[in-house]
Amino acid sequence: MRILLVEDDQLISRNVREVLERNGYLVEQADNGEDAWFLGDTEDYSAIILDLGLPVMDGLSVLKRWRENGQRVPVLILTARGDWAERVEGIDAGADDYLAKPFQMEELLARLRAIIRRSSGQASSVISVGFIRIDTRYQTVSVNAQPVKLTPMEMRCLTYLATQDGRVVSQMELTDQLYAQDFERDSNSVEVLVGRLRKKLGTDIIKTKRGFGYVLENRAE
């Protein structure tokens, strides 16, 4: 899943990015409010981690502008400011959760998973689609109770499709979610990736809707 990390502290930003990437997320970054607002308003992310104390434009103003423009992406506010009134203001402005610095990385991951689950209608960190069971916390997959080993990219692709609740996802959308902006994109990359998943999970699990994209179907229904 594609995450926008907005943080101007280079050490925190680097540490958070490393943890997110180890847990299967594709991370893009901004270190000021103006760039953050533009990226959040024009790109498609599964969630945004947003610091409040940003240069150029503060995080609260960025969040308000996103919400005023109809941007509904889940936002986790990450800040050193611990005043309860400010937390209330952030949540009222449209934040989905709030985490004060210093923080434990495990808590950040748990809160991030939670806001992504809520946005896609999932109540648990375990996603079940037909005979497939995906544990987003431990990054494991099983089919018919048998563990299947996936690469980080395969896991990212499968998880994204699983959270779409049967919606057909276009090849362009999948490409945006799986690859960084500076990646030299090959039109066959997604096809190859889906092909590898079919070999591991079963050929009839991920369906191709010609001219539209891919969908993960619930075979148990």
Say if residues 55 and 33 touch (Cβ distance below 8 Å).
yes
> For residue 135, what pLDDT is reported?
92
Tens of pLDDT, residue by residue over 42-85, are 998 999 999 998 999 999 999 999 999 999 999 999 887 666 77
Indicate if the pLDDT at residue 11 is higher than 60.
yes
Residue 206 confidence class, pLDDT cut points 50, 70, 90? very high
Check: CB of residue 166 under 8 Å from CB of residue 121.
Answer: no
Residues 6 or more apart whose Cβ sits within 8 Å of residue 106: none
Domain boundaries, the chain: 2-119, 126-216
CATH of 126-216, one of 3.40.50.300, 3.30.420.40, 1.10.3720.10, 1.10.10.10: 1.10.10.10
- Sign of the Cα torsion 180, 53, 96, 112 reads positive
Q: What is the identity of the amino acid at 215?
A: V
Question: What is the pLDDT confidence band of residue 220, given thresholds at 50, 70 and 90?
Answer: very low
Phi, psi angles (nearest 5°) of residue 138: -100, 0
Q: Which residues contact 176 (CB under 8 A, 6 or more apart)?
A: 2, 43, 44
CATH topology of domain 2-119: Rossmann fold (3.40.50)
For residue 43, the number of C-alpha atoms closer than 13 Å in the C-beta half-sphere is: 25
Residue type for 182, please?
A: D
Residues 78 and 13 sit within 8 Å (Cβ to Cβ): no
**Nearest Cα to Cα of residue 42 among 69, 61, 68:** 69
